[in-house]
Structure 1
Amino acid sequence: MRIGVPTEIKANEYRVGLTPDAVREFVAAGHQVIVQAGAGAGINAMNEAYRSAGASIVGAASDIFAKSEMIVKVKEPQRSEWTQLRKNQILFAYLHLAADSEQAKGLLASGCTALAYETVIGADGVSLPLLAPMSEVAGRLAIEAAGAALQRHNGGLGMLLGGVPGVRPARVAILGGGVVGTQAARMAVGLGADVTILDRSLARLRQLDELFQGRAKTRFASTTGIEEEVFAADAVIGAVLIPGASAPKLITRPMLKRMKQGAVVVDVAIDQGGCCESSHPTTHANPTYIIEGVVHYCVANMPGAVPFTSSHALNHATLPYGLALAAGGLAAIAANPGLRAGLNVHRGHLTHPAVAASLGLTVKAPEAALAA
């Protein structure tokens, strides 16, 4: 199969769909790889590194889309990209369609087959192996972002996350105990913050309690529990996830008025619409805004700030799935339950139930769509 890797064009996005190491694996498996010139510059992988790995270099994104059977990206295609997609072409990338009806309509109109990293399921039938590495990065970055936003010149309380002897540390409330929440808690605890993790799974809360050995508190995420912790917090990390679906709005606009002036919300769930009603996507160039005195950090591609780490971590996870797609095409999707779960769009049909429900559109089961 001919694999195409365009340069990412979303604002402040420096990751790349395939690293030179991954390209070498595809070429060794007998596939052709076309990389747009400069696609790897954000991770200091220059064109010559890709040539040495066996890729061909082309100058324009249009050549990538015109000549490739499968497009491998990081972030969701922008309008200028989805209009170049076509029937019988596979797109493999993060999509986050539940919060992006315009992109969904564009992919449906293209007739392409689009698989979303964030809904591919692991062999255990539960885990999200292609979302996990970026969740790890985003969770760790969330605490760095919270620490910066808490600084007074950024509109925050003027508080150091870990405090100093004689001055209390910041109170950090983490909404969600999954990968993002766990990694955020690791960083916050390591800095000496006063951390509480909220989740609705008692089994998960028990795991977190065992993991942190009292260094982080756990609390059931009831409405009352969320309100009390959010109102008392100096920083809130939104780390909730319903695979494929829009994030639940756990922090309402009226709640903002009862939060501390200068408190911070880092809404990592912004890719799925955000878990705070007042959240809207921001960029690394202008990451925060203030509503009701609360600093909002809602960057939709947080891992893009550390593209070297993020690109390599992502490629390590996506490589076996990408190789399977390159070898088998649609047959690989039909045969692999994990890849079928990743199928969001196929030849004009939405195929993921949570995405369809979030957008209010009709769903067609992936098995039926592929068979047709």
Structure 2
Amino acid sequence: MGSRLRDWVLSVIRGRRGVLASMTRAGLWTLQWPYRLAVAWRNRQFDRGVGVVGVGVPVISVGNLTVGGTGKTPFVEYLAQFLRDSGLQVCILSRGYGSDGGRNDEAMVLEENLPDVPHLQAADRVTLALTAREELAAEVLILDDGFQHRRLARTCDLVLLDATDPFGQEHCLPRGLLREPIRNLRRAHMAIISRADQVSPDELQAIRTQIQRIAPDLPIATAVHQPLELLGVAGQQQACELLAGRSVVAFCGIGNPEAFRHSLEQLGATIRAFRSFPDHHAYSRDDVADLERWVESQADADAWVLTTQKDFVKLQIESLADRPVWALRIGMGLREGEERLQALLEQVAASPSVPLPDELDEE
């Protein structure tokens, strides 16, 4: 789907007005029902244990209910660092969306920020888990984007909800952005509301109320995305505070580009122009040449060019149109519920793991 068509469809899902938009929503509303039935049948099979495989070590799944960015990468980094600092051998497993056969942007970011934590990527995450246990001596596994990947048995499910759109317009794909119905949040062991600082206190309380209505006993934590530093291609590091009052042009290819824009505005940057690409965008030479022309036409002589770390690890360019390019590195900070989350992690890491099936048991 082209970027313009994608943006138009998203605007329709989110309430765009007009006859064509209304007719399109009606069609998408009808199309969501076969999808919901397929999801329900699949989940029923997994609920019965059909096809679920344990791998002999605790598995912590990090996922979400919606498509698009909820901040899983910095949260996975937070979990891996906490478990590693607790003296555990940790390994991250992921599908590798957008990798095009190699390491995807999320893997490259995690490897850059946590070089001592192995990260395995492949479609078959059961095989990855066995590899991590047998060859890397992993004591606990973090399954990235795993809430819907139920073939690998997990010890707990942590689900992120983006405060700016927590429930995907309350419709399943393609009418809304939900991967599965909201009520399936009952499978989770904790909900983490990310970007909690980007909504009002009343809006945040409304999200809490809806979660509690769906899953009354589900623990809830709130988190914010914290700008940590600016990174240069040669390993330079600059304080984020340097962006205050500075003229910048910015671009990104992430699931929630407005969150990146918001971070820059919070740091006091003056955004002269902003451009977004699809999530996991693979930048070509033509893209770089186009960005050069765009920066040249939009930026003043003193402007910096800003992008995300996910985009930067793929581009690895020092400048565009003779302006320095900097990546904004983001971390996850827990506002509420951090002690409860850490207690859950410690409990999971110490818990008996899901046993291997008979055919995989070691002699």
- Relative to the length of structure 1, the TM-score reads 0.28
Decide which structure has greater strand share. 2
| Higher RCO, 1 vs 2 (CA within 8 Å, ≥6 residues apart) | 2
- Relative to the length of structure 2, the TM-score reads 0.29
